[in-house]
Structure 1
Amino acid sequence: MSSPYLTLTVVELTQETPDAVTIHFERHDRQAVSCLPGQFLTLILPCGPGGKKERRAYSLSSTPSEAPRLAVTVKRVAGGLMSNYLLDTVQVGQQLEVMAPIGNFTLTPQPGAARSVVLVGAGSGITPLMSMLKAVLREEPQSQVLLVYGNRNEESVIFAEQLRRLEQQYAGRLQVEHVYSQPKGPVTAHQHTGRLNRTMLLRILEQRHSFPPAQAEYYLCGPEGMMLEAQAALELLGVPASRIRRESFVAAAEATETAAAQPHGHGDVSAATTDEGASLTRTVTIHYEGAEYQFAVEPNQTILEAALDQDIDLPYSCQAGLCTACRGKCLSGKVHLDEREGLSDAEMNQGYVLTCVGHPLTSDVVIEIG
């Protein structure tokens, strides 16, 4: 199995807004890095106290067709450890340690498709949507895209110029609707004043007859409040839940994925209220990259925290149970998860766990990662 860690070189920086920069990377050998539109890259940088390495996940704003380049777009967050470190220090030629792209919030281009794709985002939630938008326009000549993008004002629009160019290049196939909560100038066509909430989204979508609600595909990314409002609007329009995808890890991250199920059995995974056995220290066995690790997990620790305390370098990113970078399969024993947003019902049933929010409830827990 190949290592999930890569070293990438910064080859270009693009200033998108006064507080957002796109960082373009390549491998030193210029080989393509496998990814899908919508996935994210985890950056590992020594920006913590005393140079401690910290991890943050950033959605790719590039598409696979831009290989060998990968790009992430980083917006400065007030008090944000990683975003401020990056924007203040990153330079062309610098080498950064990253985890290979992963994530379930993806769109797979289908050249023969003729579909309507609606992307709803706010602020830096545009980054994975931008990757999807470019991929559909480039690789699905019969498909059309509607982007509804909320920002404070015109100056805070990430990718403003790139979106204008794409609208011209793909006239009739791409429509961008901007929503400004505090516009600086008069709004023009395809611009709206107010918050990107349920009422605003309904007003915009009801005017787009070429995007029939029940047939279009919807991808939502942004603050949790915006996504709840968007989901409420789509429910009122009768959009089936199966046609709505949302990115949940982005907000949590700012405060390989398709590995086949193993043929052997699995343990018991619970996301209900922590039950019996949670107050005892348990020994956990981890199989990772051909090695076996055994270590004790205290009652107040997650499995990942206990491993890191033992200097066992397991993969992880968000540490909130959302991004799935730390996913493994529980082969025996019983594990409780504090949060299961990142796992599908099928994955839960197959015994998959997230070590960053997992607690062993029995003494025979064995987890296989990778």
Structure 2
Amino acid sequence: MSTSPYLTLNVVDLTHETDDCVTIHLERADRQPIASQPGQFLTLIVPCEAGKRPARRSYSLSSTPHETPRLSVTVKRVPGGLVSNYLLDNVQVGQQLEVMAPMGNFTVQPNAAAARSLVLIGAGSGVTPLMSILKAVLHEEPQSQVLLVYGNRNEDSVIFKTQLQALEQQYAGRFQVEHVYSQPLGSGGAHQFKGRLNRTMLLRILEQRHALPPAQAEYYMCGPEGMMAEARAALDLLGVPAERIHRESFVASADSAEAAAGQPEGHGTVTADDDDAISARTVTIQYEGTDYQIEVRPDQTILEAALDQDIDLPYSCQAGLCTACRGKCHSGKVHLDEREGLSDSELKQGYVLVCVGHPLTNDVVIEID
């Protein structure tokens, strides 16, 4: 029997991080723990507009497993953003929120015996999953060191400012924050840099830290696409192996689609090529023990067609990134508009994301995880 991906959680506390950012602390009513990994995200299902389908947004966990039974997400107001504005204007302690269970692959697996160096690179609200990762590593790996390079507009826009200061004191010698401000309010300090967090700035910061061999550290980055591209360019110049660089993104990349070839037998074919024409097709969805036959129009994704028939499939970002809607294609051929959320191995095994999927044949059968 499959386990429902949906949870109803109580808002037990709110922490106002900045003028436009709040951390929402959530627990189950029975205070039982909820499995999660450092760096994962939570999908909130929010009834923002009366008469319309609830909106879903993914927010990285800023909590860690050792803070169980509490899960915390940090939400920054986005100008014109439907969900962020609804939450910041309306969320209150005592109310309930429906969520999907934590998921995501931007994670670390803490090991008490590890003695490693982590460099975390973030800007703005991209610090949220990095916060979860650094707290977990500092708490569970007493021999490991963590450097956080954190870009913001100024000192007042630093999310988790007080908490980061406390962690630096608690883990003195093991944890350091290097702040980068594009428009600083003050005159600067020993661990404060003025300018944009680009490749030049990152190289300057890393090269000043002689105790940290760049190629031997592990790197985790999260933030605007431009910042992450600059950070990756800096790490390439330092000779950091690709397998030591991890990134989290919720913005689809226009050039991320690549063809998945050489599919082994035993399942359907998944492609990101544009060679095959998309037309109206019938798809079979297997979910929670039921087979659903749905008609998918050329202008629809498989997920959109299922939702139009009131089939409550799990989903979140609707951009092919978060993997909440992942399924296994057992037969037929499926085209993906985006494939960034899936690894090459998953594509070869026939996994699809129905939020960006279109059937190319009439024998498509997809089993939703």
Q: What TM-score do the two structures reach when normalised by structure 1?
A: 0.95
2-structure distance, mates of 1:11, 1:162 = 19
Q: Deviations over 1:36-86 (max 9, x none)?
A: 000000000110354531000000000000000000000111111101100
Aligned residue identity for 2:222? C
Q: Deviations over 1:292-317 (max 9, x none)?
A: 11110011111001001111010100
- Deviation, 1:264, is 8.8
Aligned residue identity for 1:149? Y
Matches within 5 A, 1:28-47: 28-47=29-48
Matches within 5 A, 1:317-356: 317-356=316-355
1-structure distance, mates of 2:91, 2:145 = 36
Matches within 5 A, 1:126-165: 126-165=127-166
Aligned residue identity for 1:48? E
Q: Is the 8 A contact 1:328 1:368 kept in 2?
A: yes
Match of 1:285 in 2: 284
Q: Is the 8 A contact 1:264 1:331 kept in 2?
A: no
1-structure distance, mates of 2:50, 2:363 = 36
1-structure distance, mates of 2:244, 2:26 = 33
Larger CA deviation: 160-169 vs 40-49: 40-49
| 1:214 alignment partner, SS class | helix
2-structure distance, mates of 1:264, 1:349 = 10
| 1:313 alignment partner, SS class | coil
Q: Is the 8 A contact 1:277 1:362 kept in 2?
A: no
| 1:73 alignment partner, SS class | strand
| 2:215 alignment partner, SS class | coil
- Deviation, 1:272, is 1.5
Q: What TM-score do the two structures reach when normalised by structure 2?
A: 0.95
Percent of counterpart pairs with the same letter? 76
Structure 1 residue runs without a partner (length 5+): 253-262
2-structure distance, mates of 1:210, 1:364 = 58
Pairing 1:276–2:285 present? no
| 1:318 alignment partner, SS class | coil
Match of 2:314 in 1: 315
1-structure distance, mates of 2:334, 2:196 = 41
Aligned residue identity for 1:87? L
Aligned pair count reads 357
**CA separation of 1:264 and 1:64: change in aligned 2, threshold 3 A:** farther
| 1:293 alignment partner, SS class | strand
Match of 2:255 in 1: none
Match of 2:261 in 1: none
Match of 1:90 in 2: 91
Matches within 5 A, 1:53-72: 53-72=54-73
| 2:25 alignment partner, SS class | strand
2-structure distance, mates of 1:206, 1:16 = 31
2-structure distance, mates of 1:49, 1:155 = 35
- Give 4+ residue runs of structure 1 displaced > 6 Å after superposition: none
Match of 2:220 in 1: 219
Aligned residue identity for 1:276? D
2-structure distance, mates of 1:284, 1:28 = 38
Q: Deviations over 1:63-113 (max 9, x none)?
A: 000000000000111111101100011000000000000001111111110
Matches within 5 A, 1:349-368: 349-368=348-367
Pairing 1:294–2:285 present? no
Structure 2 residue runs without a partner (length 5+): 253-263
Q: Deviations over 1:197-224 (max 9, x none)?
A: 0000000011112221111000000000
Aligned residue identity for 2:195? G
Match of 2:7 in 1: 6
| 1:112 alignment partner, SS class | coil
| 1:192 alignment partner, SS class | strand
Aligned residue identity for 2:301? T
Cα RMSD over matched residues?
1.2
Aligned residue identity for 2:241? P
Q: Is the 8 A contact 1:109 1:139 kept in 2?
A: yes
Aligned residue identity for 1:244? I
Match of 1:117 in 2: 118
Matches within 5 A, 1:150-299: 150-249=151-250, 251=251, 265-273=266-274, 275-278=275-278, 280-299=279-298
Aligned residue identity for 2:303? L
Aligned residue identity for 2:37? L
